[in-house]
Amino acid sequence: MKTALKFKITATDNNARLGQIHTARGIINTPSFIPVGTIATVKSMTVEELKDIGAEIILSNTYHLYLRPGHEVIKKLGGLHKFMNWKGPVLTDSGGFQVFSLSPLRKISDEGVEFRSHLDGSTHFLTPELATQIQAALGSDIAMAFDECTPYPATREYTLKSLQLTTTWAARCLEARTGGQALFAIVQGGVYKDLREQSAEELIKMGFDGYAIGGLSVGEPKELMYEMINYTTPLLPKDQTRYLMGIGDLNDVIEAVSAGIDIFDCVMPTRNARNGTLFTSQGRISIKREEFKEDPNPLDPECRCYTCRNYSKAYLRHLYMSREILSMRLNTYHNLYFYLEFFRKMREAILNGEFERFRREQTPILQNNFHDD
C-alpha cells in the first residue's frame, strides 16, 4: 500500500545520518526529537509555541485517547490535528507500551491484551486491529504497529514467544491498515541479539514504512542498552526511518545517532521541566536550590529562548517554590527549546562531518548534573 511518507538521507557521518521525512503535513528533519503530547497536548505548551521553538512533529497516544475522550469522538471532530489545532505531522504510539506500563492488570493472549483502565478500572481489550483502527480514527501521519513490550528481565523463552506475538500482531496491523497512514513496526527481542535479529528480519520482510526499536530503557543496565542499540540499528533498512522509542537522555541520543537512529521521543525534557530540573549549556540544574534565590542571571546565558531572554533564575525559583503554573510553562518552554536546539546542532555537526567532535564536546557537559536530587 502506498503511503504519503518518504524518507531521504541527505548526508552521513560514519553511521550517523542526516535526513528528511516528507509527510503530507510537512518535512521532519532528522535526527529529530518528537515532543510528547500524550493526551493531545504537550503539557503546558500551545501549538504555536511548539512551532516557534522548531518542533516539526509531535507524538500522541492511542491508549490515552482511546480511554479519554475516545477515538470516535476525535474522529467526529475532524481528527486529532483539528482537535488540538496542530497542523504539522503527528506520530501515534500504538498503546503497546502503555498497557504494559500503566495498566494494573493485564492478560495477554494471541488475540490481544485485556487491561484495566488506569482512569476508572474499567476492562478493555486491545487488539492489533483495534489499535490500527484507533490510530486511523485519530488520523495520525505515522501509526505504530501494536506490540508487546517485553519486560526486563525476561527469559530467552519468554522473549522469543513475545517477539513472535509482536511479529504476528504486526502482520495483522498491516492487514488492518486503511488509507494513506504510514505504519512503522517495532523490533523486540529483549537483550538477546539473535532474537533482535529474528524480530528485525521478520518485520522487514513484511514491508513497513519505518522501523522502531522497542523494549529498551525498561530496567536493563545502560551498557546492555547501548549494546542492543548498536547491534540492532544496522539490521534495519538503510533507506527507511529508524526510531528509538521512549529514549531521550541526551547521552543515549548521541550514542543512538552514532549508531544510525533517526527519530526519538521522550517525556524527559517536559517532565523534568515540571519538576524543576532544567537543561543548560553547562549541564543540568535544579531550579529549586537556595543558591538561586537572589540570582539575577538567566538560566542559561547562551540560550535565546523566551524564558532565558526575559526572566532571572531568582524569578524561576520563586515560581517553582510557589508551585505556579507559569513555572511549568517557562521551564517546559526552555527545556524543549534546549532539546530542539541540541538536535539542530547535532544535525549541523553531521552535515559538516563533525559528529565525533560534537560528541566529544557534549558528553562531559551532559554528564554535569550539578544537583541531582
Among 4, 51, 311, 354, binds its own copies (CB under 8 A): 311
Question: What are 38's three cell numbers?
Answer: 500524550
The DSSP string of 258-313 is HHT--EEE-SHHHHHHHTTEEEETTEEEETT-GGGTT--S-S-TT--SHHHHH--H
Among 238, 293, 345, 357, binds its own copies (CB under 8 A): 293
Question: Quick check: 84 binds its own copies (CB under 8 A)?
Answer: yes
Question: Quick check: 192 binds its own copies (CB under 8 A)?
Answer: no
Nearest distance in Å: CB 76, its own copies: 6
Task: Single out the catalytic residue among 13, 252, 262, 265.
Answer: 265
Identify which range of 76-84, 87-95, 248-256, 261-269 contacts its own copies by CB under 8 A.
Answer: 76-84
Kindly identify the residues of this chain, within the stretch 102-131, that bind its own copies according to CB under 8 A: none
Angle at 199 between CA 350 and CA 21, to 5 degrees: 35
Of residues 64 and 284, the one with the C-beta less far from its own copies: 64
- Residue 186 φ/ψ, nearest 5 degrees: -120, 120
Nearest distance in Å: CB 362, its own copies: 30
369 DSSP assignment: B
Quick note: the x/- pattern for its own copies over 29-48, rule CB under 8 A, is ----------xxx-xxxx--
Asked if residue 92 lies in contact with residue 139, where contact means CB atoms within 8 angstroms, the answer is no
Residue in the structure block whose three cell numbers are 506500563: 101
Nearest distance in Å: CB 332, its own copies: 8
A 10 A CB-CB count for 252 gives: 22
- Note if 265 is an active site residue: yes
Q: Give dist(CA 284, CA 371) in Å, integer.
A: 8
Rounded to the nearest 10 degrees, the angle between the axes of helix 250-259 and helix 325-351 is 30
Closest by CA position to 116, among listed 101, 104, 127, 130? 104
Angle at 240 between CA 179 and CA 243, to 5 degrees: 90
Task: Single out the catalytic residue among 13, 93, 209, 252.
Answer: 93
- Note if 373 is an active site residue: no
Of residues 133 and 327, the one with the C-beta less far from its own copies: 327
Among 157, 296, 372, 373, binds its own copies (CB under 8 A): 296
Quick note: the x/- pattern for its own copies over 208-247, rule CB under 8 A, is ----------------------------------------
Q: Give dist(CA 177, CA 174) in Å, integer.
A: 5
Nearest distance in Å: CB 335, its own copies: 14
Question: Quick check: 287 binds its own copies (CB under 8 A)?
Answer: no
Asked if residue 266 lies in contact with residue 247, where contact means CB atoms within 8 angstroms, the answer is yes
Of residues 78 and 153, the one with the C-beta less far from its own copies: 78
Which are the catalytic amino acids? 93, 265
**Which residues contact its own copies by CB under 8 A?**
39-41, 43-46, 68-69, 73, 76-78, 83-85, 293-294, 296, 310-312, 314-315, 317-319, 321-322, 324-326, 328-329
